[in-house]
Each structure stands twice: as structure tokens, then as C-alpha cells.
Structure 1
Amino acid sequence: MNKSTHITLAEGKKIYFASDNHLGAPTSDASKPREKKFVAWLDEIKHDAAAIFLLGDLFDFWFEYKTVVPKGFTRTLGKLAEISDSGIPIHYFVGNHDLWMHGYFEEELGIPVYHKPKEFMFNDTSVFIGHGDGLGPNDKGYKRMKKVFTNPVFKWLFKWMHPDIGLRIGQYLSVKNKMISGDDDATFLGEENEWLAVYCKRKLEDKHRDYFVFGHRHLPLEIDLNEKSKYVNLGDWIQYYTYGVFDGENFDLKKY
């Protein structure tokens, strides 16, 4: 695991978190009101944001060819570019719907992209951050599928497919396949059965972290792991419109 990255918050500044927008689902037109709402939120938080963390599945399907990216999402990409250009750092963790990010966000938007969870220090508070897919004792079906999706041979073959065909297949699977979409497990399982909470408790055996922040589950959750550590799941921008905010001392889930 990489060493933690330190971010110092000036007085009055905050760090914001969002996850699981699934823009483009179930159709581009149907998701556009959700996209406009998300862009309005970005426009509000830019005034006091020290940094913004997007924890994956911003798009319902995303695949980067060498010279082609999926059509659409102009409002979101433009707003992210504006915020990044203004000097506010944005950090992106890939999810299971956008595994195939390979340079576009970094080169075009100046946004670093992480393919694995990473620890950050916000002032003196340690926060372990990731999308959450494939972690913990369960999610076995997806773990097998992820091995296929990230296989270099599979990605090479998919890149040779015409983008109109490849993107259509990817979008269809993203919407229809419950294993990919995560719709089949978007219910609270109880603290002892929440596999990301189990994963966090195991990580605490090696090292203390004040907060563990994930997406993927599509549920806004706050679970105390012990007296000094908490697991937070950010929910989504489909049903809940929830986001996280850290003010230098406390992490809170809020609804937009």
C-alpha cells in the first residue's frame, strides 16, 4: 500500500466526497436531470472546497480507447475541468463501472486517478479511501468478473472492437447485469454482515485509521468500528443524493 498523502485544511475549508452517479443510466436523457443536479452541487461546494474526492462509478459505463471516449457528460466534465483549473484538487477512484480509465482524466482534466484504495491524512485525521468493489469476504461473483475485465488480453480484444459496438455492449451490460450494477445488494445487511465493514475491521488490525470511506454499496451508512474509527458509505446520486464532508475535525454524511 502506498504511503498516505497529506492535505492541510485552511480554516473554513472542507473536503467533499461523492460516489455512484451512474451517469448515462438507464439512458442518457433519463440521467440528464441527475447530472444537472450533481453539477449544481459541484458549483456550490467549489467555494469552500479544499479538495474533492469522487469515489467511482461517476459513469454507468466508461471505456477509453486510444483516441475515443464515450460521448456525452459534457456538463460534468466541463465543471470538473473548471474546478481543477481553478486550483482545487480533485481525486478520482475508479469503480466497477469505470475500471478502464487510462489517462484521459489525468491528461485532459488534471485529475489523478487511483485504481486501488489509498490512505490520506487530512490535518491529523487518517482517512482510508476507495470505491469498495471486490473488497472483504464476499462479492465473490464480481471478483471473478473483475479478473476477466482487467485481463490485458480481454482489454486488448475490446479495444479492437469498433467503439460504436463496444460502447453499446458495455452500456447494455452495465444496465442489465445485476452483478455489475450492484442493484441486487443495495439493502442493509446488518453490521456483522456488511462485508466492507468486515474489511475495515480487518484493516484496523494492522493500523489505526480514523475513517474508512467507500462507495459501491449505494447506501448511505455510518458504522462505528470501535470507539475511535468509523466506516462511512457515501450512498449514491440516483436515489439518495448523499455526499460526505470533512470540516477538519468531523466527517458527516449530508443530503443534497
Structure 2
Amino acid sequence: MNDPQKKIYFASDQHFGIPDANRSKLREKKFISWLDEIKADAEAIFLLGDLFDFWFEYKTVVPRGFVRVLGKIAELRDSGIPIYFFVGNHDLWMMDYFEKELDIPVYHQPKEFEFGGKKFLIGHGDGLGPGDKGYKRMKKVFSHPLSKWFYRWLHPDIGVKIAQYLSTKNKLISGQEDIKFLGEENEWLAQYAKRKLEKKHYDYFLFGHRHLPMEIEVGKDSIYINTGDWISHYTYAVFDGSELSLKKYR
């Protein structure tokens, strides 16, 4: 970080689009207000996945809605603030729209970064760590190029309806049954972090997906932070150049 007054912000799991258009729009406005507040001192913004409850990029079509959020993100990016996007399990089928239209890099796997001399491993968090075999099998099927090719041939009105139904009804996709704290020793992303530390040191592990804001010490001078969500918690993480902390937007 070059400017000691600047900060790096992290947020995830907005799931815009649910439970319906009107209530989603209220949450979008709250998220946009947060973006407006942080733009004055943001050196970079990391969006850690599931910005939308469903997103699929056809070659010439993108899902309807989310104009305010996309417009605000475009404004911040055009102002010179770097923005990074990590694909989640609900925007699994994101391709190059963000990269071409918004100049925002898109990552499908966790990625290492270094800020202020601290090493970060950042990602969405789905499919990592032990267990969750049902979801891991389903993700392989959904992310297979043949699956995407077949789905693209559905009319968007049909494809989006099917995806919205599965997003809320299929527990493997929605993850509703997983939104409960399992205890520090049983949190599978914390276990994943500990395994990674066996090979390399990281100061911070940053993930979303769990919808629970949490901070767990996973090793000597190493912390796992989950950014929570913007459905129930409205939480985010911020790095001020020396420390990473969880915050709640009010």
C-alpha cells in the first residue's frame, strides 16, 4: 500500500435478486451507500463472490436488473479504484463480462496477494476444505463446458427461471442449511487454512460463502476472516495497512 491513509475493503454474498425484486433493491441501495462512503479512502475493493443470487452470461445477453450496482461499480472503477471479483457458487457461470465492460479481473480460484508486507489468500470459499462432497460433485457438473454449452441454448427467460428455482430450493446450491456456526475446530474453511499453512505462511485468509462474519486464529500470526453477508449481517473487512478487521455497516 502506497498511501498510509488508504484502505483495502472486502465484501461478499450480497445475493442481489432475492427474495424478490423490491426487497433486493433496498439491499442494493444500502450496498451502494456503503460503496459511496468508502470510495474516498479505498485503495482497492475486493468482491468475494455471490454478488448476484444468479448470473449467467449468454454471448449477447446478461441477466436483467442490478443496474444501480453495476453502474456504481463502473463509476468507482472509472475513477481509478482497482476492483477484484472472485466467482462464487451463485455466479459460477461468470465469464468475461466484468473484464470487458468494467475492466475488473475475475478469479475462479483463490489467489495470493500481498499488502503492507502481509500475505493474503483470498477467495469465495465454496468447495474448499474437507467434506461437502455433494456440492463438490455438483460444481464439477455445473462448471463443465458441456453443461454451459447446453444451458446457453435455453431461452434466457426459461434458463433464468430454472436457475432462480434451483438457487432457492436446492440446499446444495443455496447453502441455507450451512448458515450456522460449527465451532472453531469444525469450521471447514478454517481447516482448509490450517492445511495451507503446512506448506506456506499467510498472515490472512479471507473468504465469504459461509454468510457468517467470523475471525479465527488458525496458526501463529495467521488469521482466517469470513466477511459475512449483505442479507442479514451487512458486514465487511477492511485492511488499514497494518491490521485486518471486521466491520458492520449501519
The 5 A counterparts of 1:209-220 are 209-220=202-213
Check conservation: 1:9, 1:122, Cα contact below 8 A.
Answer: no
Match of 1:56 among 49, 55, 66: 49
Structure 2 residue runs of 5 or longer lacking an equivalent are none
- Distance in 2 (CA, whole Å) between partners of 1:167 and 1:9 is 43
Q: Percent identity?
A: 69
Which residue does the alignment assign to 2:58? 65
Measured against aligned partners, the alpha-carbon deviations of 1:212-253 in whole angstroms (never above 9, x if no partner) come to: 000000000100012300000000000000000000000000
- Distance in 1 (CA, whole Å) between partners of 2:176 and 2:83 is 27
Match of 2:173 among 175, 180, 183: 180
Measured against aligned partners, the alpha-carbon deviations of 1:130-188 in whole angstroms (never above 9, x if no partner) come to: 00000000111110110110111111000011011001111111122121111101111
Structure 1 residue runs of 5 or longer lacking an equivalent are 1-7
TM-score normalized by structure 2?
Answer: 0.98
Q: CA deviation at 1:100?
A: 0.7
1:37 aligns with 2:30: yes
- Distance in 2 (CA, whole Å) between partners of 1:144 and 1:153 is 15
Higher mean C-alpha deviation, range 179-188 or range 202-211: 179-188
Check conservation: 2:197, 2:219, Cα contact below 8 A.
Answer: no
Moved beyond 2 Å, runs of 4+ = none
- Distance in 2 (CA, whole Å) between partners of 1:150 and 1:166 is 15
TM-score normalized by structure 1?
Answer: 0.96
Check conservation: 1:9, 1:248, Cα contact below 8 A.
Answer: no
Match of 1:87 among 80, 91, 104: 80
* 2:225 aligned counterpart, secondary structure: strand
1:169 aligns with 2:194: no
Which residue does the alignment assign to 2:8? 15
Which residue does the alignment assign to 2:198? 205
Q: CA deviation at 1:28?
A: 1.6
Name the count of aligned residue pairs. Answer: 249
1:191 aligns with 2:198: no
- Distance in 1 (CA, whole Å) between partners of 2:10 and 2:125 is 14
* 2:219 aligned counterpart, secondary structure: coil
- Distance in 2 (CA, whole Å) between partners of 1:217 and 1:82 is 29
Which residue does the alignment assign to 2:117? 124
Which residue does the alignment assign to 1:5? none
Check conservation: 1:14, 1:248, Cα contact below 8 A.
Answer: yes
CA RMSD in angstroms, aligned pairs only: 0.7
The 5 A counterparts of 1:106-145 are 106-145=99-138
Which residue does the alignment assign to 1:47? 40
Which residue does the alignment assign to 1:4? none
* 2:94 aligned counterpart, secondary structure: coil
